[in-house]
Amino acid sequence: MIKRLAFLLFTTLFLMACGAKKRTVHANKTPSVSQVNEPKKHIESVPGNKNDAYPMPEDTGEFIKFSITSVEDYIETFSEIAQFEMKAYGIPASITLAQGILESGAGRSTLTQRTNNHFGIKCHTEWSGDYDFHDDDEKGECFRKYNHPMYSFRDHSEFLSSRARYSFLFDFPSDDYKNWATGLSKAGYATDKHYPQKLMSYIEQYQLHKYDTDIVNQGYVAKIEPKEYDYMTHTVQKGDTLYSLSQRYFVSIEELMKLNKMKDTGLSVGQQLIVKTAKSK
């Protein structure tokens, strides 16, 4: 009963802090034309609480959309969530906020308005939740959809902390936003060559690093579980590239080249490559 009351109090305070004008409830609508022949999926479970992470609001099946008017409004709305995630997962709050601003257009992009997807995370094979389609690197790509923005922030933390290609980021101090920004690009989070500079520009322009300092000064050190990996052999097929393989196996292009002692990025059909990916738990 005490835990239940605490949960209700936290959720109430959070929604009050966001302001009544920001919270809009939309019932799930009929799938778009491109989804008519697809089996409709629903969120089966909310990402679990790791390292005493704050609880998620109950998923009522309703789509909760926040009306954000500016970058400053976005920061005010989501900075506390980014700090909670930093406490639990060790990802700099500044990086989370900067990625959210960049990937979601400060919460105002068409994709984010339809999906609450603040980080541009695509479906991938393991996703069992709701989804929507959007033109990105390719036409009609599948993106994850969440009924509440907080689910997107939690999934972002789980996404980065559970994939082998991002594991080296957690060797950096959790207030070292410069190495994190560079490392995200190096690991292939985005194809934009200027991705690190864009993240750092937001962080410095809006002084987002102060949110990291606050958490570090509180003495929080996230306990990231050590990862175990599976090594296997992949036979190169027509159309394979190191980038596509890095996305498939969640390992960086640099590590693929290192594992296979490659001097350049060229591949040939039938070539045998050693790949590694984090073991599923």
The C-alpha angle with vertex 106 and arms to 32 and 113, in degrees rounded to 5, equals 15
For residues 96 and 43, the answer to whether their CB atoms sit within 8 Å is no
**184-237 pLDDT, tens digit each:** 999 989 989 999 999 999 999 999 999 999 999 998 765 555 566 678 889 999
Out of 120-129, 196-205, 264-273, which region has the weakest mean confidence (pLDDT)?
Answer: 120-129
Distance CA 148, CA 21 (A): 16
18 pLDDT more than 60: no
Token digits for 231? Answer: 């090594």
Distance CA 51, CA 165 (A): 22
Tell me how crowded residue 276 is: count the other CB atoms within 10 A of its CB: 17
Q: Which residue has the tokens 């609508």?
A: 29
Residue ranges in the chain assigned as alpha helix (H): 2-18, 71-89, 93-104, 110-115, 149-161, 177-186, 195-205, 209-217, 242-249, 253-259
Distance CA 18, CA 222 (A): 26
Nearest Cα neighbor of 55 from 146, 153, 141, 168 is 153
Q: Decide: residue 90, CB within 10 A, 0-12 exposed, 13-18 middle, 19+ buried.
A: buried
| Strand bridging mode 131-134 / 23-26 | unpaired
29 pLDDT more than 60: no
Specify which residues 275 forms β-bridges with.
232
The pLDDT score that the predictor gives to residue 271 is 92
Out of 14-23, 96-105, 213-222, which region has the weakest mean confidence (pLDDT)?
Answer: 14-23
Distance CA 274, CA 28 (A): 43
Q: How many residues does the chain have?
A: 281
The pLDDT score that the predictor gives to residue 191 is 87
With H, G, I as helix, E, B as strand and everything else as coil, classify residue 249.
Answer: helix
